[in-house]
Every structure is written in C-alpha cells, then in structure tokens.
Amino acid sequence: MDLFTRIRENAGPLGKYADVAEGYYIFPKLEGEIANRMVFNGKEVVIWSINNYLGLANHPEVRKVDAESAAKYGMAYPMGSRMMSGNTDMHGQLEKELASFVNKPASLLVNFGYQGIFSAIDALLSRKDVVVYDSGCHACIVDGVRMHLGQRFVFDHNDMASLQKNLQRAKQITEKTGGGILVISEGVFGMRGEQGDLKGIVALKDKYNFRLLVDDAHGFGTLGATGAGAGEEQGVQDEIDIYFSTFAKSMAGIGAFFAGEADIMQYLKYNVRSQIFAKSLPMPFVEGGLQRLQLLKENPQFKDKLWEIATALQEGLKARGFNLGNTTSCVTPVILDGSVPEATQLVTDLRDNHGIFCSIVVYPVIPRGMILLRLIPTAVHTLQDVEVTLEAFTSVAEKLRLGAYRADQIAAKIA
Ligand SMILES: Cc1ncc(COP(=O)(O)O)c(C=O)c1O
C-alpha cells in the first residue's frame, strides 16, 4: 500500500476531526496581547488556557529585553550547535542562575523541553538499566521512555504501592544486568493538577536505590516558598537527582533546563543528542530568560497574586458543587459527566455566549462519559474574571444536567 494512501485514509486520533473542529476546538487562534482577556473569533473572551502563570509574557521589562536583544543580535546569533560554534557566556550565565535558583550545583540549558527530556532519558539509560515512570507522565516522557532499549515499567498514577511493586521487578532485573534504576515523575501533572507524590517516591530511595528525574514544568515558579517548584514545596528538592523545567510556562518563553550534580550535567551536555545536534538557543531567548528569572526571583508578589486568583477560582467552584478532582496546584480541572458531543456544545456555549475560553479534554484522553474542562489561573487575571467564570460555569453545568446540549449538527457529526 502507498504510504500516503494509508495516511489519507486515517488522519489520526485528532486529525479525523479536523474538518469539523479545526480553528474552533483544535488549533484555535487567540489574538491580541497575551493577557487575561484576548480575542477569539472576533470576540473578547476571558482566557483560562495559557500557562502564563506569573504574567511575565507581557511584563514591560521582559518585552524591553526581548526587543533590545533581538535588535542587538538578531534572531540567529549564535549560529550552529552549542557544541560546534553556538556557545556564549550568556548561555553559561543563565545556566548558573537557573542552578542556583533551584538549589542545585549545576544546570544544562536546552532549546525545548519536549526534545530535551526525551533525549535526556535516552542519554541517561543503557540497555541494562530499568526505567519506572508514572502513568500520568507527559508525552515527552512517554516518548523518551519509548527510546529506551532496556526494560520499562509504568506505575499507576501517584500510587506508591504500584511504584513499589514495579521497583521490586526493576530491582530483580538490575540485579541480573548490573544496571541502575531511573524513576520519573512530574512536579505537577498538568492535566489534573495533582502534585507528584515526590515525598512518597523519595521515601523508597534507600530500599530500591534509584535515581529520580522530575519534570516540574508546572511547579517551577508556582510552588515552593521561593518558587523553586514542587520539590521545594514538599521539602525534597535535595532528593531530586535530576530536576527539569521548561520556560514555556512560568517563564513565558522558549527553552528548558536540567539541574543536578555538576558531573551529571556535564554528561548530559555531551550526550543529549537533541541538543548537541541542534542549533543553539538564540540570544533573545537567553537574555530574555535571564530577565524573566530575575523578575521571578525579585517579585514574589507575582506568585502570591497567582495563588489569590487560583484560590478564589477553586474555592468558588467547590462552593458551587463542582468536582475539581485532587488538584494540589493552581491547575484547575473541572470534571463533569457528559458525552463528547455534549462537551463540544458546552464549550461552544461557554465561548460564544459567556465569553469564557478554557481547554477541554474528552475521551479517549480521559474515560468515556467524562468531560474535563481545564482552567489555568495566572497573575494577570482579576477577581472579576473569576466571578464571571463562576457564573458561566454554573449556567452551563445546569444546562448539561438538563440535557440541553444533546442534539446538534456538529455533535452528530463527531459522535
Ligand atoms: C510537563 C511538560 N513537560 C514538558 C513540556 C514540553 O516543554 P516545551 O514546550 O519546552 O517543549 C511541557 C509543555 O510545554 C509540559 O507540560
């Protein structure tokens, strides 16, 4: 069979909905400055779907440094991979400051979180090693684990008994192969907002002798006394052997980093293939990254404001009887009962009639019959935004309960 024939016949789990969903449910376009309110389909909406947690995306000092750096260096400098020709003092400076912020001896900057982490998993593991990871882990971890040529085990999400069972299996294997064990979890699971049970995981370290890698994409900047993330929040930052975060969220930029012992960072620097064979991070992202980190460190009020909004939103939703699952972060999931077609109608109503834009997750990402709306509070939201959102949610949840979203053309097409 011709490859393209097969592809044309099967556009993939999301692609098959492109003709009915693209531009609205999938690949929507948000216009205007990144803020609490933006324009969708020509109308102003309250935005609850972007991870601009601390509001840095449009901070005037961030905009200034981004622009000045682009004017000074252009978007290309430095050219080539960092290994060959694309290294600068500023890249090193950012690494030093990131390491110090998350309380680790050293760090390694990478261009993208996704590519960095899957490639780091590949670099860290040999065929003799076993990787044990949480079933709720992000696609970048799942894809990294798929590259591993040795054994891999997945434990039930945040379930320490399941982790132990899998560590026992891992230990039996490594005793034979002479390899080591890598456990991977997240600081905050971005879909439902639960913190990874890092405390529970590190309590098993002595017994099973493993190293721990934590993807703290959503914890960095939002959790812990200084904003150093979920490890700091849970008092186990020192026990995280390899700390990871992207700049895509609290830092409102592009880039990512690992942090840990200096020799391990040095190893990654020479062995993370997605980085050594890729062009170096351009200067505006590096200088912009330094500026963002400085603002993050010097302005704890950004995190306080984020939490003021998150708390008002979560408490308000709970008071109105909504099920927020087990979130322990500012990621706010709202779990409703309903079919996929109903979910599409509910979201249309929320966006078009109530001016509320949030992400929606349905089957097969979550079980059939369940709708998960995900709200991401930020420091640039207002209590007024929270108020209109609570009212809108109350209205659509009532309609859903009464079956008002059952019949519709788009719904019928998707069903
Ligand atoms: C948990 C998690 N890890 C990694 C990534 C990927 O990071 P990046 O956008 O820098 O590729 C994301 C999304 O941005 C994420 O949510």
pLDDT computed for residue 124 by the predictor: 98
Return the CATH number at 285: 3.40.640.10
- CA 20 to the chain's CA centroid: 27
13: cis peptide before it, omega within 30°? no
Q: Is the CB of 90 under 6 A from ligand 1?
A: no
Task: Please confirm whether the linkage preceding 28 is cis (ω < 30° from 0).
Answer: no
- On whether both 287 and 331 belong to a single domain, the answer is no
Nearest 5°: CA angle at 362, between 379 and 374? 10
Q: What are phi and psi of 95, to 5 degrees?
A: -60, -40
Longest Cα separation, the chain = 63
pLDDT averages per 10-residue partition of the chain, 415 residues: 95 88 93 97 97 98 98 98 97 98 98 97 98 96 96 98 98 98 98 97 98 98 98 98 98 98 98 97 98 98 98 97 97 94 92 96 83 97 98 95 75 48
CA distances (Å), origin 198, targets 153, 158, 217, 233, 307: 18, 9, 14, 10, 21
Please tell me if the CB atom of residue 98 comes closer than 6 angstroms to any atom of ligand 1.
no
Contacts of 341 (CB under 8 A, 6+ apart): 405, 406, 408, 410, 411, 412, 414, 415
Q: Answer yes or no: do 282 and 394 share one domain.
A: no
| 10 and 129 belong to one structural domain | no
Cis, bond preceding 300 (omega within 30 deg of 0): no
Based on the structure, what is the number of domains in the chain? Answer: 2
Of ligand 1's atoms, which has the minimum distance to the CA of residue 117? 4
Query: Is 373 in the same domain as 355?
Result: yes
Tell me the sheet residues that pair with 270: none
Instruction: Give the CATH number of the domain where residue 39 resides.
Output: 3.90.1150.10
Of 265, 298, 331, the last residue of a domain is 298
Q: Is 190 in the pocket of ligand 1 (CB under 6 A)?
A: yes
Domain end call among 259, 281, 298? 298
Residues 46 and 65 in one domain: no
Tell me the CA–centroid distance for residue 24 and ligand 1, in Å: 23
Query: pTM of the full predicted structure?
Result: 0.96
Range of the domain at 118: 59-298
Q: Would you give the DSSP letter of residue 329?
A: S
User: Which pLDDT value is given to residue 409?
Assistant: 46
Asked whether 138 lines ligand 1 (CB < 6 A), one says yes
Mutate-to-test residue for ligand 1 from 133, 137, 140, highest number of ligand atoms within 8 A of CB: 140
Q: Match 């001016």 to its residue by tokens.
A: 355
Count of other CB atoms within 10 angstroms of residue 169: 14
User: Which of the 8 DSSP states describes residue 186?
Assistant: E
Q: Mark which of 250, 283, 298 sits at the end of a domain.
A: 298
pLDDT at residue 413, as a whole number? 45
Residue 294 shares a structural domain with residue 304: no
Instruction: Examine the domain organization and report whether 190 and 266 are in the same domain.
Output: yes
Index of the ligand 1 atom closest to the CA of residue 256? 10
Is 355:311 a contact under the CB 8 Å cutoff? no
pLDDT of residue 341: 87
| Contact call for residues 331 and 192 (beta carbons, < 8 A) | yes
Choose among 340, 337, 334, 397: nearest CA to 364: 340
Long-range CB pairs of 364-368, under 8 A, 24+ apart, other chains included: 364/13, 365/191
Q: Whose CA is nearest to atom 2 of ligand 1?
A: 217
Q: Which atom of ligand 1 is nearest to the CA of 255?
A: 10
Structure tokens at 4: 């393209």
- Do both 201 and 287 map to the same domain? yes
Counts of helices then strands in the chain (DSSP H, E): 18, 14
Residue nearest atom 3 in ligand 1 by C-alpha distance: 217
| 29 and 93, same domain (yes or no) | no
Residues 209 and 258 in one domain: yes
Whether residue 222 is found in the same domain as residue 346: no
Q: Is the CB of 217 under 6 A from ligand 1?
A: yes
Cα 99 to averaged position of ligand 1 atoms, centre (Å): 19
Please tell me whether residues 48 and 128 are part of one structural domain: no
